Amino acid sequence: MNGFVHTRVHDFIKPKLGGRSLSDDDDIFALGYVNSLFAVQLVRFIQREFDFELTSEDMDFDNFRTVDRIVRLIDSKTGARTTPEGRL
Amino acid sequence: MISQLTDEQRRRWKEYREFADRVIAPAADAIDAHQEIPRELIRELGEAGWLSAMLPRRWGGSAVDALDYGMMAEELGRTCSNVRNFVAVQDMVSDAVSMWGTAEHKRRWLPDIATGRRIAAFLLTEPGTGSDAQSVRTEAKDCGPEIVVNGTKKWISFGQCADVFLAFVQYQGQHTAILMERDRPGVSVTPLNDMLGLRGSMLAEITFEDCRVPADSVLGHPGSGLAFVASNSLNIGRYSTAWGCVGLAQACLDASSKHACEREQYGKPLADHQLVQQMLADMLTRCRAARLLCWQAGQAHEREDEDSHYETLTAKYFGSTVAAHIASQAVQVHGARGMAAGAAVGRFFRDAKAMEIIEGTSQVIQQLLGRWSAVAGHPSSLDATG
């Protein structure tokens, strides 16, 4: 797993949970601390931060449930080559 | 606000106003009285490019940006909230199809919705499910090559006349969007007339009893119904409603100013009485403030800010609250005339109340904004959009 991607994703989500802890395999939405608007925020963050467009095929809600799954999605789209600058 | 408009934007906005005054305004009272929008008017909206306006031209849209869309929504709201609501609902569905639909979904529905040949409806709420949109109970189950739908949707705008439904159901245990034609066995539609406001929005209760639809009717992925499909569509609905509220408020201000200049009491126009001046000043200030929040929401959308949905919520919350207040003041300025049958400000008053309920009640939005307030940035922050 790309460490940089993991850190950026984790750092994006953590403040939205009001200071609560977050494990990489926690279902973010099932925790009950984020609302349906968060999914849209997450998508926009991913596309902007890692500079690629998600397709309708990618928009399977299961891809966004946990930090692990989000990082896997990003790695699959960027070839796991994302650098600290967020670019290939 | 005026300084933010380019000359081209100002020119287009004038065109939108002229179209609304010429085509929509003359029909508004009848739409409210007869509780329906004439199909001829819907076709005229389609021909003029007012339906699915933000979609690409290849799908029948006009490719307008969020700011132009807002201007259009304001002019619709100024002239007829029912028509504004109609356009918003078509856009909520067509946007969902364009984002999440298959090539066949798009080919089959987008051109017809954009021209007004077919009418769409957004089926989220149920008798037992309103603000708690996650808890829809309408169920869809696999049955060979088909999906069988059972359940009831209620308070559905244009459910009386819609040809296609974007329905949110529990499918494979997950919140899912499906696209389904009205003209299928097992679909029954019950009109809900005589609403307090938005009387021309042709609400209906729609019941599905073992209604069979093709298996490829799912829009997007199972489980994406609320988080992605509905969330995006509701954002369009809220954005349109926010601008529509500005239009409604402007209509109230225009009517009140005119009446106050023409009506005399105690030997002088109402407009020369200080307490009336106070009301007019209040209406003007709030209307302008609401417009600025809508403009900000539009700019946030264009920048694809991650918090743009919250900017839209802010605009909708303030705009709907302001519209209800201003409409009440407009009736007050008009006195007994404001309460008479057929009074335009009376229609504005009733429609304004609906704005505090549709597309998310003020209370739900207050909850969302209350939580966001802890992280919403200040304008001085580099990351902030405010």
Residue B380 belongs to some domain of the structure: no
CA nearest to B326, candidates B264, B254, B275: B254
Task: List chain B residues with CB under 8 Å of A56.
Answer: 99-100, 220
- Identify which of A15, A29, A60 has the shortest CB distance to residue B221: A60
Q: How many domains does chain B have?
A: 3
Q: What ipTM did this prediction achieve?
A: 0.76
Cβ contact, residue pair B309, A56, below 8 Å: no
Q: Are residues B347 and B236 in the same domain?
A: yes
- Fold of the CATH domain A3-78: 1.10.1200
Q: What's the CA gap between A41 and B385, in Å, rounded?
A: 14
Q: Are residues B173 and B233 in the same domain?
A: no
Cβ contact, residue pair B309, A15, below 8 Å: no
Q: What is the pLDDT of residues B226-256, one digit of tens each?
A: 989 999 999 999 999 999 999 999 999 999 9
B213: domain CATH number?
2.40.110.10
- Identify which of B221, B226, B309 has the shortest CB distance to residue A59: B221
For residue A36, name the pLDDT band (cuts at 50, 70, 90).
Answer: confident
pTM for the whole structure: 0.93
CA distances from B181 to B58, B161, B218, B323 (A): 23, 12, 13, 35
Say whether pLDDT at B385 is over 80. Answer: no
Residue B378 belongs to some domain of the structure: no
- Is beta strand B187-191 parallel, antiparallel or unpaired with respect to B204-214? antiparallel
Q: What is the pLDDT of residues B15-39, one digit of tens each?
A: 999 999 999 999 999 999 999 999 9
- The reply to whether B359 belongs to the active site is yes
Q: What's the CA gap between B354 and B358, in Å, rounded?
A: 6
CA nearest to B97, candidates B150, B54, B34: B54
Q: How far is CA B58 from the centre of its chain?
A: 24
Residue B385 belongs to some domain of the structure: no
Q: What's the CA gap between B377 and B311, in Å, rounded?
A: 12
Q: Are residues B46 and B127 in the same domain?
A: no
Q: What is the pLDDT of residues B165-218, one digit of tens each?
A: 999 999 999 999 999 999 999 999 999 999 999 999 999 999 999 999 999 999
Cβ contact, residue pair A18, B374, below 8 Å: yes
Q: Are residues B66 and B138 in the same domain?
A: no
User: So what's the pLDDT on residue A87?
Assistant: 42
Domain boundaries, chain A: 3-78
For residue B321, name the pLDDT band (cuts at 50, 70, 90).
Answer: very high
- Residue ranges of chain B whose CB lies within 8 Å of a chain A CB: 99-100, 133-134, 174, 220-221, 223-224, 226-228, 230-232, 235, 304-310, 313, 368, 371, 374-375
- Evaluated on CA atoms B75, B115, B117, B357, the torsion sign reads negative
Q: Are residues B335 and B242 in the same domain?
A: yes
Q: Which of B36, B75, B311, B359 is catalytic?
A: B359
Q: What's the CA gap between B62 and B60, in Å, rounded?
A: 7
B358: domain CATH number?
1.20.140.10
State which of B119, B142, B170 marks the end of a domain.
Answer: B119
State which of B98, B119, B140 marks the end of a domain.
Answer: B119
Q: Which two tokens stand for residue B144?
A: 């060979």
Residue B327 belongs to some domain of the structure: yes
Residue B214 belongs to some domain of the structure: yes
State which of B92, B119, B146 marks the end of a domain.
Answer: B119
Nearest-Cα distance to chain A for B232, in Å, is 8
Domain carrying residue B230: 225-372
User: So what's the pLDDT on residue B105?
Assistant: 94
Q: What's the CA gap between B6 and B175, in Å, rounded?
A: 43
Cβ contact, residue pair B223, A60, below 8 Å: yes
Of residues B111 and A3, more confidently modeled: B111
Nearest-Cα distance to chain A for B180, in Å, is 20
Size of interface A-B (CB pairs under 8 A): 58
For residue B2, name the pLDDT band (cuts at 50, 70, 90).
Answer: low
Cβ contact B344:B251 at 8 Å? yes
Residue B131 belongs to some domain of the structure: yes
